[in-house]
Amino acid sequence: MLDLLDWDQCYPTSSCSKLILLWFSLTSLCSHSLCVGMTTKERSLAKGSPAPGPVPEGIIRVYSMRYCPFAHRARLVLAAKGIKHDLININTMNKPEWFLDKNPFGMVPTLENSRGQVIYESPIVCDYLDEVYPGKNLTPKDPFQKAQQKMLLEHFNKAWPLLFKIVSVKKNNSEEASDLKTEFLEKLMKFDEVLAKKKSPFFGGNEVSMIDYMMWPFFERFSVFEVMDCLNKTLHVNMWYELMMQDPAVQAECTHPEVLLGFFKLYTQGNPEAVDYGI
């Protein structure tokens, strides 16, 4: 059974076919590389792997996992701001001992700079990257607007766990899964209302901002969770989804839905090879 709290960490209906075809065309997999949006196919570092050397001056190191939606958040911010970084993928199902010394929770994303300073928890990581590095500001400077985005994220944090519950119960209890899906749709419709009231294409306004990147990784996994058809019933969220698919950072960090599904199947079986699926 999938542990819903250990995530640090399916197919669309015909009316969603345009969305999923676009998604299929935007494939990218990003282990250890010095990059700005560069991809590698190195295996994740697992138990017994030696610790990497010091972080080079002027570089931020990111400990990630290819398929983790929370690490995905950080990679979106890195891509959006064009931050040069050292990317190291961690096998979160078989963690190296030294990683737990850096982050006692053993979670990704985790940042480390050249001074050995370590930062973790995806909202904190993303805010740090936005504040410290130049380029496009993803977080509003206005305190009230910034607070609004954080409040909206708290509402979203009450919604996304339902996605994992749907998958975990569906095999043994399709009726419960259906009820959970209905509950998720009800929450999604609230976000549809937010966009309708704002009269803006994105949750933060007329441009992609931090809140959009914080939410997106879960939407990219809708086909895995078998809730793509929910977009048919949320017009404004559906339009937001299409616009997000065109965002350069989203395209740079997009993973093929079949790869995500392959990972998820192995992950729910407890197979530590899941984290390197597809490489």
Strand residues in the chain grouped as ranges (E): 33-35, 60-64, 85-89, 110-112, 118-120
Beta bridge partners of 205: 202
Helix axis angle for 122-132 and 69-81, nearest 10°, is 10
Residue 111: phi, psi to the nearest 5? -105, 150
Tokens of 161: 């766990």
Beta bridge partners of 88: 63
Tokens of 185: 């749709």
Nearby residues of 5 by Cβ (< 8 Å), 6 or more positions away: none
CA angle 77, 82, 88 (to 5 degrees): 70
| Angstrom distance (rounded) from CA 39 to CA 32 | 9
Is residue 79 within 8 Å of residue 248, measured between CB atoms? Answer: yes
Q: Please, how many CA atoms are within 13 Å of residue 167, restricted to the half-sphere of its CB? A: 22
Catalytic residue (one of 16, 30, 68, 126): 68
| Angstrom distance (rounded) from CA 19 to CA 23 | 6
Active site residue 30: no
Going from the C-alpha of 95 to that of each of 48, 71, 155, 205, 258, the distances in angstroms are 9, 15, 31, 39, 25
Helix axis angle for 161-170 and 174-198, nearest 10°, is 160
Residues designated catalytic = 68
